[in-house]
A and B are shown apart, each in its own frame.
Chain A
Amino acid sequence: MAREISRRGVLGGAAAAGATGLGGLVDPQDPQRPATAAAQTQRASTAMTPHIGTPTSRIDGRAKVTGAAKYAAEYNRPGLALGPGLAYGYLVTSDIAKGRVTQIDTDAARQVPGVIDVLTHQNRPHMADADSAYKDDVAPEGSPFRPLYDDRIRFSGQPIALVVAEEWETARFAASLVRVDYDEEAHVTDLHSQQGRAVALGAPASPAEAPFFPPKPRGSASVAIRSIGASAPLGASIANDDSVLDRRSLA
C-alpha cells in the first residue's frame, strides 16, 4: 500500500514529491494516517511553489519525539528479516595513535558467557591485499581502510578487535576485558603545533586538478525523471545532459 502511494506521488509530479520528501505522503492533519491515493495525486500535481514555506509534518516525527522510533539494531525479534539469531558486535579500539600491536589477550573476553567470538588481525577471515579489490565510488584517493588488517596502528581509536556476542551489553562488557600491548611510536596530533609546517597549495588550473576534487555524481536526476515518464521539470537542461543523449542513442 505504502509503496503504491509513493509511486503515484512520484508519477504525479516528481518535483513536488522531491520538494517535500516523504512529507507529501501523509495527511498533514494526522501524520499517522496515509493520505488517500486520490488526494495524494491531487496534491502532488499542484505546482512546486506552494510547498515552499508551508509547514509539513514529518512522517516519522511523532515516533521520534515520543521515543517510539527504533534504531535498526533494535529490531532483533524473531520473525523479522534480521532475526532470530542476530549477533551483536562491539569494537575494541586503539589506546595509542601510532605504533604496533604486539599482543592481544582475548582469553578473558572469550570466557564471558554469551560471547561467540573475538576477531582480531590474527584470526580474521581472509581479506584482499590489493587496493583495487576495494570498490567505493565516493571514497577519496589513496589506499582503502582495511579493518583488522594487520598490527599497524595508524590513528587513536582505530578498531583492533571485534567482540561478537549474543547480546550487545555482553559484547560491550567482554570488550572491556580485552588486553592489548603496544609498541608505541611518536605521534603528531596537535594541529596548532604543526602550523609552521603548513604548505601553501597553488590554485588548480582546472577543478579536476584540485587536490580534493569532489567525487563524480553516480547518477543523473534528469535521467531518473525521464525514465519514469514524468514531465521534465528541468526544462532545456535535459537536452544538454550527455547521459540522456547516450541513452537515446542506445535505444
Chain B
Amino acid sequence: MINFEYARPADVGDAVRQMAAEPGAKFIAGGTNLLDLMKEDVERPTKLIDITRLPLKEVTQTRDGGLRIGALVPNSDLAWHPLVEKRYPILSSAILAGASQQLRNMASTGGNLLQRTRCYYFYDTATPCNKRAPGSGCSAIDGLNRMHAILGTSDACIAVHPSDMCVAMAVLDAKVHVTGPKGERAIAFADFHRLPADEPERDTNLAPDEMITAVELPARGFPANYTYLKIRDRLSYAFALVSVAAALELDGGVIKEARLGLGGVAPKPWRDTAAEAALAGRPPGEAAFAHAADTVLSGAKGYAHNTFKIDLARRAIVRALTQAASGTPQSQSSKKIA
C-alpha cells in the first residue's frame, strides 16, 4: 500500500486551499477513474481530498432558462433528470451510451470532464508515454493505435478523450464553472479541454489548484432533432471508436442551425463549427450531410491501425445527421443502430 493522506474539506474554499498547499494532492469524487489509475501506479497522489460531501449535487434552473449542474451530480441522476430528459435529451442519451449502470451511479459530472485517456500505453508504466511521463516518448504513434485519434493529434501524443457525456456538452455550448484560490471563473466548453501539442500531460486548462463546481447549459437544448450515435467494438460497456452528437433546428424545410461533435477520434471532444456553418441554410439530406462530414474530416490523419476510423466517422456523421433530421434519435437501450 502506498500511503497517502486523506482529507474531507469543510467547503469549496477549504478544498481549493488544501489543494493549493499540497502539489501532489488529488480531488476524489466518484473515484471511477482515479482509483484505477492509482492501482495501476499511473497516479500516486500524496493526498486525497474527498469532495463527495460538498454541496455540489443540485441541478437548478438558471435565470436565462438554462440549467446549472453541480459538479457532484452523478452521471445517472443527470441522465434521468426530468429537465435534462425533456430539454436536453442529447445529453441524457450520451451519458447512457457510456460505461455501465454501476459506473454511472458513482461517476460525477466534474469527474467525467477530467477522466484521463484509456490509451494502453498511458496505463502501462513499463512503456514510454508523454502524457504520463513528459518527454519519455509516445509508444502509440508507432505501436498499436487502433483506438487512437485521427484529428487534433501531435507528434507527442495521439490519445483520445474517452468521454461520451462531454461530446454532448460540447455541442450544447456548455460552460464550466471553476473555483480556485483567486476566485471563480467560467470556461467555455470548447476551451476547457486541450489538444496535446507539445504538452500532452495537460488534458485541460484547469489550473492545478482549481476545482470544477458546476457545468452550465444554455437554454437551447435541441429536443426535437438530435441524436447521439456511438460506434464501438461491442454494443455496451466499450469506449467509442467513433461517436457523433448531432443536433439540428429545422425551419421550413431547411436547417436553421446545426451542431456537430465527435467522440473517440480526438484528444478532446471534437466539435466542428465550420461543418455546422456549412449545414446552415441547406435542406437536410445526403448531399448536405456528406459535405459536412468531408469538412470535419478534411484534416484527418490515420495511423497504422486506425485509418478505418476516417471512413467510419464519415458514415457515422451522415447517419447521425439523418437520424437527427428525421427525429428518430439513436436508442441507447436497444442499441440497434437505426
Which A residues are within 8 Å of any B CB, using their own CB?
Answer: 95-96, 167, 169-170, 172-173, 176, 189-190, 192-193
Contact = CB atoms under 8 A, between A and B. Distances in A.
Contact of B126 (A95, A167, A170, A189): A95
Contacts of B144: 189-190
Nearest to A170: B1
A73 to B, nearest CB: 15
Nearest to B2: A173
Contact of A176 (B41, B143, B305): B41
17 contacts: A95-B126, A96-B126, A167-B1, A169-B1, A170-B1, A172-B1, A173-B1, A173-B2, A176-B2, A176-B41, A189-B144, A190-B143, A190-B144, A190-B304, A192-B304, A192-B305, A193-B304
A241 B250 CA distance: 69
Contacts of A172: 1
Nearest to B143: A190
A169 B126 CA distance: 21
Given A167-B1, A170-B1, 13 more contacts: A95-B126, A96-B126, A169-B1, A172-B1, A173-B2, A176-B2, A176-B41, A189-B144, A190-B144, A190-B304, A192-B304, A192-B305, A193-B304
Contacts of B126: 95-96
Interface string B169-187: 0000000000000000000
Interface in B1-37: 1-2
8 nearest CB pairs, A to B: A95-B126, A169-B1, A173-B1, A173-B2, A192-B305, A176-B41, A192-B304, A170-B1
Nearest to A174: B1
A89 to B, nearest CB: 15
Contacts of A190: 143-144, 304
A192 B302 CA distance: 15
A173 B305 CA distance: 36
Q: Which of B1, B304, B305 has most chain A Cβ within 10 Å?
A: B1
A191 B144 CA distance: 9
B120 to A, nearest CB: 11
Nearest to A173: B1
A194 to B, nearest CB: 12
Nearest to A156: B126
Contacts of B41: 176
Contacts of A173: 1-2
A35 to B, nearest CB: 30
A95 B41 CA distance: 14
A23 B305 CA distance: 45
A190 B143 CA distance: 8
Interface string B309-325: 00000000000000000
A21 B31 CA distance: 36
A193 B304 CA distance: 9
A172 B2 CA distance: 9
Interface string B251-292: 000000000000000000000000000000000000000000
A74 B1 CA distance: 17
Nearest to A193: B304
A193 B143 CA distance: 11
Contacts of A193: 304
A102 B89 CA distance: 59
A172 B304 CA distance: 36
B91 to A, nearest CB: 27
A193 B1 CA distance: 40
Nearest to A96: B126
Contacts of B143: 190
Interface in B133-190: 143-144
Nearest to A167: B1
A68 to B, nearest CB: 14
Contacts of A167: 1
A189 to B, nearest CB: 8
Nearest to B3: A173
Nearest to A175: B41
Nearest to B146: A192
Interface in B293-337: 304-305
A173 B2 CA distance: 6
B14 to A, nearest CB: 29
Contacts of B305: 192
A172 B144 CA distance: 28
Q: Which of B41, B126, B143 has most chain A Cβ within 10 Å?
A: B126
A190 B144 CA distance: 7
A96 B126 CA distance: 8
A95 B304 CA distance: 23
B189 to A, nearest CB: 34
A233 to B, nearest CB: 35
A133 B126 CA distance: 34
Contacts of A95: 126
B125 to A, nearest CB: 9
Nearest to B44: A176
B208 to A, nearest CB: 25
A196 to B, nearest CB: 14
Interface in B111-147: 126, 143-144
A96 B2 CA distance: 25
A170 B304 CA distance: 41
A168 to B, nearest CB: 9
